[in-house]
Structure 1
């Protein structure tokens, strides 16, 4: 999983892929997926979702992740109860769950991943930099910002920012955190935040939806700034969709209708979890705008064009604690 929002292929940053050892241990210790009841294709009595049971803030067995909340919204429109099939993310997730008809949808799938047929996206997000309050790095909007030189940056290994850091000479001073872990037993994000608090690192660069809630609950101790100058770089921003089986076009269209109808409700959940949302031109969508019925539509592909100037009063709109509102992203050269 070279790029890590939710899933790229069958692997994710957030649901994060697990190590080969953990995969083997899980296979030996846990009953195979087929040991559970295998239902028919696309249930008409339940909204069947395959999820990772230990992947906050995205999904948990307690159903308190933001994908759990979005699943509830979709199920409400479908007039069906949510039924989960739990499985740890990692290699083979789609093959052993969705493709085995153990569920009808995978939440939070990256558009462009060929393992599933993606619906239209319901949000787009990007990488962010998170620093302690008062840090001189709080206004950084690009991994290439000269201000980062001489500072120790925390970053997940094998993710797009590491490529840029290698090129600009800052990777040597970075602290790398493992990407392939079993989240039931290990949380690299917690270690990353602990190091930031202890001043082992000066900043961390990570996928925004993964860290947004931690920033919100830090009581102002942390500031998150989207890397808006990098959103058009390959692997720095993603459109996130629902994943369904490739031959189920009617089901895909049904879900897209629900996503359109409940767009404002879904955005309220994302805003509550402090997920940074960006539009097709790479602009940050203020939470007050994102949660309105007139929220910008996220297209499957960027439309291009220059970034317009912010509207008068835009910066006065309320934002979550610790959320830095930068200016508009410049046109890429």
Structure 2
């Protein structure tokens, strides 16, 4: 979910394309900012059918619950376009106008137009309660030396683990899989419980959800030094150019932020302040 593909327009083409865009903008009414593609009859959501705890075809994911909140406020029936969260997801769903919003998309990815972020989370260390590393909150902690950590291959914490000499004994798990068939996170948690690894390093919403279910200790990694960062702001994603739709969703996010926070915390998602420095303080 965190990888992106970016194609840049050559400098020689930018000026004429900009001029054409300006002329087109003057010729169209303001309502065209929605590109006339957003459905007026349904709240159409693009989602993975087997991506627990985010989304699921049985509607048990936290993104499903957030979509329920948005649809109810809009007074529209909810409609899903199901497609695996893999290469081609955005193109085959949002861009092809099969749906109008992706409920969870990392801020700053240019494949979509991002709304305001509605939560920030971080990678976490999942460990057994009462273990010697239960209170470890950064990967440079000497207590991790010589231990076997589970890590999703190619994920941002792997760089920090390499920097701190932890990769040699690490157990890698697949990054890109079809969640309908296998679940690296669930396997990692099972391996931790079985003693095959000493701790698991996972993206916060995933580690928080499965760690909570298993009664394990989940600690956000908020003290890492150097790149890459281990916290991310999560937005909703809409088609480029759909500014009116984006503003409408921003308004709904502001209106329902407390309810959204409650949904997320109910799933064990660690909520972090916007700068990634500390756990978020409840607005209640």
Normalising TM by the smaller chain, what interval? 0.7 to 0.9
Aligned-pair RMSD on alpha carbons?
A: 1.5
Whether contact under 8 Å (2:201, 2:207) holds in the other structure is no
Shift of 1:231: 8.3
| Structure 1 residue 254 corresponds to structure 2 residue 253 | no
Q: Does 1:73 align with 2:54?
A: no
Counterparts of 1:232 and 1:83 in 2: how far apart (Å)? 42
CA distance in 2, matches of 1:240, 1:139: 27
Correspondences of 1:322-333 after superposition (within 5 Å): none
Question: 1:126-162, CA deviations, whole angstroms, 9 ceiling, x for partnerless residues?
Answer: 0000001111111111111111101110010001111
Residues 191-248 of structure 1 deviation map (CA, whole Å, 9 limit, x = unaligned): 1011101101010111010121222222x3x100111112884341100000001110
Aligned length: 253
Between the aligned partners of 1:129 and 1:64, the Cα distance in structure 2 is: 25
Question: Equivalents in 2 of 1:82, 1:243: separation in Å?
Answer: 17
CA deviation vs aligned residue, 1:3-30 (integer Å, no higher than 9, x gap): xxx44438xxxxxxxxxxxxxxxxxxxx
- What TM-score do the two structures reach when normalised by structure 1? 0.73
Q: Which residue of the other structure, out of 200, 209, 212, is the alignment partner of 1:213?
A: 209
Contact 1:228 / 1:283 at 8 angstroms: preserved in 2?
A: yes
Instruction: Indicate which of 106, 113, 116 corresponds to 1:110.
Output: 106
In 1, Cα distance between equivalents of 2:112 and 2:125: 30
Pick from 55, 62, 74 the counterpart of residue 58 of structure 2: 62
Q: Which residue of structure 2 lines up, in the alignment, with residue 193 of structure 1?
A: 189
For structure 2, list consecutive stretches of 5 or more residues without a partner in the other structure.
6-35
TM-score of the two chains, using structure 2 as the length reference: 0.86
Higher relative contact order (CA 8 A, sep 6+): 2
For the pair 1:142 / 2:138, whether they are aligned, the reply is yes
Residue 273 in structure 1 maps to residue 260 in structure 2: no
Deviates more, 1:224-233 or 1:200-209: 224-233
Q: Is 1:285 matched with 2:280?
A: yes
Specify the alignment match of 1:302 in structure 2: none
Partner of 1:300: none
